[in-house]
Amino acid sequence: MKKLFLTLGLAALVATGSWAQDSEKRPITAAEYEAAKKIAVKNLEKDTYVKAGSFILDRSGDPFVFKFSDGTERRVYLYKLFETEKMSELGMYAIYTTPKDGKLKAFPLPSPDAPGEVWGKYIDDLKYGEEAMKGLSSCIAFALTKSGVGGAPAAAQEGEKIEYCFPADALVTLANGTTKAIASLTAGDQIQSFNANTKVLETATVEKLDIHANQSFALTRLTLMDPAAKLTASQSTQWESVSLEATANHPVLTTSGVKRMSEVKVGDTLYHRDAQTNVLKPYDVFLTQSAVRSVNNVYNVKTDKATYVVNGTLVMVK
């Protein structure tokens, strides 16, 4: 699935780059991304031009129609997405639907220069959209590939590495509260996850351990501190902090949303597990360091849930 999401990302880069030639372009913001997902198209077959609030959708081609062996027809409608103030093009917009039951999923497709936070939202929409509507990812991947013109985007041509991984010694919290080095995890292991709906820790099952070996991977380090400790830190020369290391692209959950490691700033708040109470507590970032060290092997966990706990800190599954 990771390879498919990466393909979808690269396809989106190609397609948005090739379609956006005539109008002024700018990257969509995270707030605009969320707002655009609420655009309603009354008649997908007839409405090729839609003005909704501060956005405009413009479609010139027919929808892509898929008929799988399960008998369910699936369709993908691709639009150009504009904002109305300056008529700047923000990228593309996809609507995936199964006409028989009337279900649909709609979201923007970011332009190449969109911020990492937006790309994180896009990847999450693909992942959770696929879980809710089987076939979404493969249909959108096909539609984007067919719509794209030209070669790979500049970042891909330059050999950009897009990895979401941890070093071998990263400690993953198991369901029973103990820890295990990520490199030692195997399919079937039970680890801790966080349920965003119930706001409690729950159990996730390891489905797969991805290993990227024999390369040089630079790690980003975040150092966190319990806010309560700040009250006494000035009175003592000793106070406890925790750290998290991962590749720069790996996403973590902050109180302001999902961010890549490289996007986290001093003052941001992440979630850290209290080993005594087994609950998550807000921990503040007081130091960020890029490329603190390099390792030859990195690891990424695939589970049946959206999050897991590494070095006591909540991270996202990618």
Q: What are the tens digits of pLDDT across the range 207-220? A: 999 998 888 888 99
Residue 103 sits in the same domain as residue 205:
no
Do 192 and 302 belong together in one domain? yes
Structural domain ending residue among the three candidates 92, 125, 157:
157
Q: Pick the last residue of a domain from 93, 125, 157.
A: 157
User: Do 116 and 240 reside in the same domain of the chain?
Assistant: no
Which residues share a beta bridge with 206?
303
CATH at residue 277: 2.170.16.10
Q: In this structure, how many other beta carbons lie within 10 angstroms of the beta carbon of residue 159?
A: 6
Nearest partner of 166 among 308, 16, 12, judged by Cα: 308
Q: Which DSSP string do the residues of 103-131 spell out, in sequence order?
A: EEEEEEEE-TTS-HHHHHHHHHHHHHHHH
d(CA 318, CA 301) in angstroms, rounded, equals 8
Clarify whether residues 71 and 187 are in a common domain.
Answer: no
Distance CA(317)–CA(164), nearest Å, equals 9
Interstrand relation of 257-260 and 242-246 (parallel, antiparallel or unpaired): unpaired
67 and 173 inside one domain: no
The better pLDDT of the pair 16, 286 is held by 286
Q: How confident is the model at residue 153, as a pLDDT?
A: 34
The range of the structural domain enclosing residue 269 comes to: 166-316
Question: What pTM does this model have?
Answer: 0.51
End-to-end, the C-alpha distance of the chain in Å comes to 9
Question: 6-40, pLDDT tens digit by residue?
Answer: 444 444 444 444 444 455 889 999 999 999 999 99
pLDDT of residue 125: 87
Please tell me the total count of domains within the chain.
Answer: 2
Range with the poorest average pLDDT among 21-30, 108-117, 169-178, 223-232: 223-232
pLDDT of residue 104: 93
Same domain, 132 and 210: no
pLDDT in tens, 269-281: 999 999 889 999 9
198 and 263 share one domain:
yes
Q: Which of 99, 98, 102, 51 is nearest to 79 (CA)?
A: 51
Do 65 and 146 sit in the same domain of this protein? yes
Cα–Cα dist 189/205, whole Å: 6
